[in-house]
Amino acid sequence: MSMSQTGISRQTNRSNRVEDMVYNNNSQSIGGPVSNWGTSNQTTTIKGRIGILEELVRTVSTELETHRKELKDLIKDKNIIENLLVKKMHDTHSVLANEILRLDDENRRHINYMDQEENRVQGLIGKMSLDSKALGQTLTQIDKRITELEFQLGNTEQN
């Protein structure tokens, strides 16, 4: 933020100096009165104007070099940040890929456990079903035996 403000302020200062040199009507500026051109001060005025132009060229060259250095620094900073972001992206990608593998492994273990549990429960259900049938048959046999005993008791009492 401060770099852009500094750049704007430099540009404004340079613009003001250029405007002063070009548009002011004094003998030291490039935009001096045209009537001075035909006088004996023509050499001094032309030399002064050339000096002003040379100074302007030096100023602009210096500022251009400063801007080039700033641009190189900005490009360097951009590359550093870009490299850091790429590294961070690869690190994040690696962490997420490892996390996905871990979660897949955990899901497989849970699925295997659930399958084993289902098989165990199905086995228990099958065993209970067989036990239930066996108990049903035993109850049927007991009922028959009770009925037979009642029948025998009823026959002996009648006799």
Q: What is the 3-state secondary structure (H, E, C) of the chain?
A: CHHHHHHHHHHHHHHHHHHHHHHCCCCCCCCCCHHHHHCCCHHHHHHHHHHHHHHHHHHHHHHHHHHHHHHHHHHHHHHHHHHHHHHHHHHHHHHHHHHHHHHHHHHHHHHHHHHHHHHHHHHHHHHHHHHHHHHHHHHHHHHHHHHHHHHHHHHHHHC
User: Is the model's pLDDT at 39 over the cut of 50?
Assistant: no
User: Is the pLDDT score of 11 beyond 60?
Assistant: no
Amino acid 32: pLDDT: 45
Phi and psi (nearest 5°) for 90? -65, -40
Of 15-19, 51-55, 75-79, the range with the highest mean pLDDT is 75-79
Cβ atoms of 59 and 17 within 8 Å: the answer is: yes
Residue with tokens 């006088």: 39
Amino acid sitting at position 93:
H
Q: What is the pLDDT of residue 37?
A: 45
| pLDDT value, residue 3 | 47
Per-residue pLDDT tens digits for 119-154: 999 999 999 999 999 999 999 999 999 999 988 887
Q: Is the pLDDT of residue 34 over 90?
A: no
Q: What is the pTM of this model?
A: 0.46
Higher pLDDT, 20 or 115: 115
What's the pLDDT at 2?
A: 45
